[in-house]
Amino acid sequence: MLLRPLGSLLGVAAFAGVALVVVGCEETPPPNPEGGFTVNFRDTGADCSIASHDAAMGTVGPSGDPALTANGSGNADVSCTIQNASGGFSVSVQLTEVANVQVTIPSFSNENTVDNKADGSMSYASTETGGDVYISPADPKCKFWVDTDAGQFVRAGEAWFTFECASIISEMSDCAMGTSYIAVRNCEGASEEEEEE
């Protein structure tokens, strides 16, 4: 009389074991990327048709503790990749909220201080530009660096850095980007550093 109940219990236990294995094999979703910027658009004179203005997403400055905005929070869109590259990291960041800011740095490291800036590019658009996209030319390139004394850094999957662009152009309008700041975390590329540890 005990055989059938015992068999049933064994069957339930086996099913539960399989269920636990299946649940245990599910991959944890990657953390949601977060980012922020403070940009300093500059009217350089007669060749620039847009007035000087600032734009910000979150709170990011030269020092302190950046307050970042998560991807999908409100109308924020955060996309970033910071992965190992020859001599440091390749950086690609796109941040959209009150404005759209994109930067690309082919090779960037903590050795790129204010006296040894890295070359890169950027684009910028906002309501202040009437939606027109301002893009840095091939020459002069934008300059990027980290102030390690202030806590800025770059590593796989995250960064906080400073940049300037002597020229950003939209058709016949040639302006500049003054000293500006970007911080991002939970970017693609973070797993590479974890695997190396």
Distance of CA 50 to the CA centre of its chain: 26
pLDDT of 192 reads 57
Asked if 59 contacts 147 with a C-beta cutoff of 8 angstroms, the reply is no
pTM for the full model? 0.84
* Residues pairing with 120 in the sheet: 142
How many CB atoms are closer than 10 A to CB 12? 10
Which amino acid does the sequence have at 180?
A: S
pLDDT along the chain (197 residues), means of 10: 47 46 61 97 97 98 97 97 94 98 98 98 98 98 98 98 99 98 96 52
d(C-alpha 189, C-alpha 142), whole Å: 23
Closest CA to 97 of 182, 12, 161: 182
Partner residues linked to 77 by β-bridges: 96
